[in-house]
Amino acid sequence: MEAMTRFRAAGDRLVDADTAMRRAEADRLLAVAGMIDTYPAPAPLVDSPAAERVVSAGAESAGAVGEFVALEVGALLGLGEPTAWSLVHDVANLRARHPHLWAAVADLRVEAWQARKVAQACDELSAEAARWVDQKLESVWGTAPWPRIRRRLTGLIVRADADLARPRAETARRDRFLSIRHLGDSTSVLTARMDTAAALTLEASLDMIVDQMILEGAQDPLPVLRARALEMLATPQNPDQDTTPTNPSPPLPLADVVVHIAAENLETGTGVARVTARGRDVGPVLVDQLAHLLGHHRIRVLPVTDLNGDPAVDAYEIPDRIRRQLVIREDYSVFPYSTSRSRSADLDHTVAYRRSTPGSPAPPGQTRISNLGPLARREHRAKTAGLWTVDQPEPGVYEWTNRTGRRWRVARGRTTRLPGTPDGARIGDRPRRNPRIDVIFG
């Protein structure tokens, strides 16, 4: 009897924990809705490309909001802007297009992530069709498991908008992709969506190579042999060799490969190097494995970059050597929690560039590593518009302040929330706008 009492108490605790989790997630969505409702209307900036625009908060009939709202939401929740925008978008859609589902979230009959999945699935529907789907699902929340609801949702979407359903097969054919994710342990994962006929041809080619490997005595499991066969297809023949290629592989590709090796590892020939090829992370590689990795490419050697230096030029334009050094040091945008890669970002002058005027020449050395930071375009515009301010007290350390006085520090790709508000700042104050607009978008 005592054991059963303890077991029941454990069950009660599980139910209480689940209820608390659902309540917290529901409150989070409600708080995002509050951010949308109270976000200050964008202030016009005359003739400025940094001016904030009013954009759709979600799909049809979901309302509008200032485009920089996701930067605020993301910084508060520790999310990159794309993820924060997705959250804002889903909340706006749920509230406006799925009122029954929105109420079910508030009543804890459905988990927040499930509600967001429904809103995303209905994103391309008209507002009327989305509300029809919402009404049809009203009775299932809290009474049916998610897999059954998901299957019913798919059918309802087809019924709600047949015109949308017809081109789905064609869309699937257009949405082919190949994704290569490097795991950092000398292996990578390939995921692809491709034409079925081509996939069958590839499968047959791999099977032919596998059959030959088995005839030669290979004992590995079939999945391993197929992976080895694909490696053989992907490994190009060295054009310097006189042997005839055994497979139709392309010639050795030319690639920019950035290898980060600590000075002590370079001297000893041991340790770990970090490799980036074509702007993508390959991951940590043992120094003694570099020859194998680089042997499959024709290498273009770039100058060695000393990341401890602080080169400067007396011009607004940023030379390639300075850009390359900054992008190597800062792999991502220096905005709080940003997920944007620096190689495609704008390079922002932390202290706005001061141009020369009659009788007042431009100060020298303004374009230097210690006064630059990569920012995604929208982050750059928000900073230029004065909605965010940033200081760089030392090279590679960026301290951000939003218009409510909250602060963050970004250093070495890590974001830390700073306590309190800066001296003299009051909640509700807008940061003092830099009198010089530092923005030239190409």
Q: What are 232-271's pLDDT values in tens digits? A: 888 766 555 555 545 554 455 555 566 666 666 656 666 6
Residues spanned by the domain of 200: 177-234
The answer to whether position 322 is within a domain reads yes
Integer Cα distance of 175 and 230 in angstroms:
23
The answer to whether position 307 is within a domain reads no
Q: What are 207-227's pLDDT values in tens digits? A: 889 888 888 888 888 889 999
Tell me which of 111 and 179 has the higher pLDDT. 111
Instruction: Please tell me whether residues 150 and 182 are part of one structural domain.
Output: no
Instruction: Please tell me whether residues 317 and 413 are part of one structural domain.
Output: yes
Determine the longest span between alpha carbons in the chain, in angstroms: 93
Integer Cα distance of 408 and 75 in angstroms:
8
Instruction: Please tell me whether residues 132 and 226 are part of one structural domain.
Output: no
Instruction: Please tell me whether residues 192 and 139 are part of one structural domain.
Output: no
The answer to whether position 77 is within a domain reads yes
Instruction: Please tell me whether residues 84 and 127 are part of one structural domain.
Output: yes
Structure tokens at 16: 């209480």
CA quadruple 296, 301, 304, 310: dihedral, nearest 10: -110
Integer Cα distance of 337 and 412 in angstroms:
12
Tally the domains of the chain.
3
The answer to whether position 280 is within a domain reads no
The answer to whether position 123 is within a domain reads yes
Q: What are 181-196's pLDDT values in tens digits? A: 887 777 889 899 887 6
The answer to whether position 145 is within a domain reads yes
Instruction: Please tell me whether residues 86 and 149 are part of one structural domain.
Output: yes
Three-class secondary structure of residue 215 per DSSP: helix
Instruction: Please tell me whether residues 45 and 86 are part of one structural domain.
Output: yes
Instruction: Please tell me whether residues 21 and 111 are part of one structural domain.
Output: yes
Structure tokens at 105: 């979230």
Instruction: Please tell me whether residues 157 and 8 are part of one structural domain.
Output: yes
Instruction: Please tell me whether residues 158 and 190 are part of one structural domain.
Output: no
The answer to whether position 260 is within a domain reads no
Instruction: Please tell me whether residues 8 and 73 are part of one structural domain.
Output: yes
In 147-187, DSSP assigns E strands to 177-182
H or E element at residue 155: helix 146-160
- Asked if residue 277 has pLDDT above 90, the reply is no
Residue with tokens 């019913």: 152
Q: What are 48-65's pLDDT values in tens digits? A: 788 899 999 999 999 999
Instruction: Please tell me whether residues 162 and 187 are part of one structural domain.
Output: no
pLDDT category at 296 given cuts 50, 70, 90 is low
Closest CA to 117 of 82, 96, 93: 93
The answer to whether position 432 is within a domain reads no
Residue 234 pLDDT: 82
- Backbone φ and ψ for 257, nearest 5 degrees, come out as -120, 120
